[in-house]
Every structure is written in structure tokens, then in C-alpha cells.
Amino acid sequence: MHIPDGFINVPTSVGFGAASAGSLWFSLRRAADYLDDRRIPLAGLVAAFVFAAQMVNFPVAAGTSGHLLGGVLAAVLVGPWLGSIVITVVLIVQAFVFSDGGLSALGLNVFNMAVVGALGGYLIYSLLGRVLPSTRTGLTVAAGVAAGTSVVLAALAFSLEYAIGGAGGASAGTVAAAMVGVHLLIGIGEGLITGLVVGAVLSARPDLVYRTPLAVAHG
């Protein structure tokens, strides 16, 4: 899912980069209101874990793999604003240190994975939380389903970027259909990993999870 330099033209990259920068600025402002001496190391740990998990590509179809994006995982554990910042830091380290994702495409990648993936995914998680029971199982299922859906949304965001300024002349509709198809499969892996980790943290330390319902925190 990390876009290299060259796939999307510069004007499109700049446009989405500006949207990502605005979102990051707003996220930093909002996250500052709930930063404390426990949340900061916790966010660091979530960033480190997402970086690690992104290295582990799993096979999804013949000749194709996928890996965790981690937006919903981070947003559920440390809150949407801090979660979005966490994913942005992971993408910055990957682009600058590991040449994973282009530098000119950084704004695009932040848009797809931190804005759409983490903030958009958290919105789905909150909506699911209204219909699912406020229990550990309910929250775990909501996180898993939101995570899987967020991967498809990120794939659609790439498809939009490709339709606006993509290189190579492939049909935008074909690219979008193929992106959604493959990322439905990758989304299943995303959902399973996210559910597993969120469920484990809710069992071990529900009080560390952002806005845990009281019934779960003290159950």
C-alpha cells in the first residue's frame, strides 16, 4: 500500500499532501489535550508495534501479499488523533530511513493510511460501537470489522488519487476494481490481527485503552 515516487503526478501529490498536513496539524492540536505521562510512552509503543507488524507480509492470493496498515489498531488503542499521528510517524520513518514509500508520495501515503485509515476507520469503529454491545467481545469485533473496512477505504483513496493523477495510462475503473478486490482479502488479515491485539490489550489492561466503556474497564 506504500506508494513509491512516480505513480501519482506531483500536483496531485501536493494537493493530497496539503490535506494530510492540515489533518496532522489538527490531530496534533487535539491530541495535545489528552497527552499525559502514560499516553506518550503508550503511543510510542503502538508506533513501534505497527512498524514491526508492517514488516510481516502475509500471502493473500497467488503472487500477492499484504500487511497490516494499523490505522484502526492505533486509533482504538490511543484515540483517533494520537492514532493518526502514530501512523504518520511510522510512514515518515519508513520513507526516510527504509525507502518504503516515496518522499514525494509521503503526503499521499499519510492521507490513505493515517487520515482515511486511522481517522476514517475510527469513525466506523465508533458507529459500530453504537450497535454492538459495550463488552470486550463487542469492542473487539467492532475494531476488527472497522480495521478490515479501513483497508478497503484506503484502497479506494489510492484509486481516487490514481484517477486524478496516475501514471502509466491504466484505466481508473479497472485499477479501482482490482484495488478493492485485493484489499478485501488483505482487509480480512487486518481485521483478524487488529481484533487479536485489541482483544488482548482489553483483557490485560482495559484501563490503558482510549475511552474504554466503564463496564469493560471494571468487568
Partner 1 sequence: MDSRTRIFLVGGLVIAVLVAGVLSLFASGEPDGLERIAIDQGFDEAAAGPALDSPLADYAVRGVDNESISTALAGVIGVVATLLLTVGILKVVQKRRRPGPGTST
Shortest gap between Cβ of 201 and partner 1 (angstroms)? 9
* Residue 89 engages partner 1 in binding (rule: CB under 8 A): yes
Nearer of residues 45 and 132 to partner 1, judged by Cβ: 45
In whole angstroms, what separates CA 102 from the centre of its chain? Answer: 18
Q: At what angle do helices 121-131 and 71-78 cross, to 10 degrees?
A: 60
- Pick from 73, 183, 190, 195 the residue near partner 1 by CB under 8 A: 183
- Pick from 10, 18, 22, 52 the residue near partner 1 by CB under 8 A: 52
Could you give the string, one character per residue 97-126, with x where binding to partner 1 holds by CB under 8 A and - elsewhere?
xxxx-xxx----------------------
| # chain residues binding partner 1, by CB under 8 A | 75
Shortest gap between Cβ of 93 and partner 1 (angstroms)? 5
- Pick from 22, 59, 173, 219 the residue near partner 1 by CB under 8 A: 59
Number of H helices, E strands in the chain: 9, 2
CA distance 213 to 206: 9
Residue labelled with grid coordinates 503511543: 43
* Residue 18 engages partner 1 in binding (rule: CB under 8 A): no
Q: Which stretch binds partner 1 (CB under 8 A): 13-21, 118-126, 127-135, 178-186?
A: 178-186
DSSP 82-128: HHHHHHHHHHHHHHHHS--S-STTHHHHHIIIIIIIIIIHHHHHHHH
* Residue 146 engages partner 1 in binding (rule: CB under 8 A): no
- Pick from 130, 131, 169, 218 the residue near partner 1 by CB under 8 A: 169
Q: Are 91 and 100 in contact (CB under 8 A)?
A: no
CA distance 150 to 118: 8
- Pick from 72, 73, 85, 128 the residue near partner 1 by CB under 8 A: 85
CA distance 18 to 116: 14
Strand partners, 8: 166
Shortest gap between Cβ of 132 and partner 1 (angstroms)? 26
Nearer of residues 119 and 128 to partner 1, judged by Cβ: 119
* Residue 25 engages partner 1 in binding (rule: CB under 8 A): no
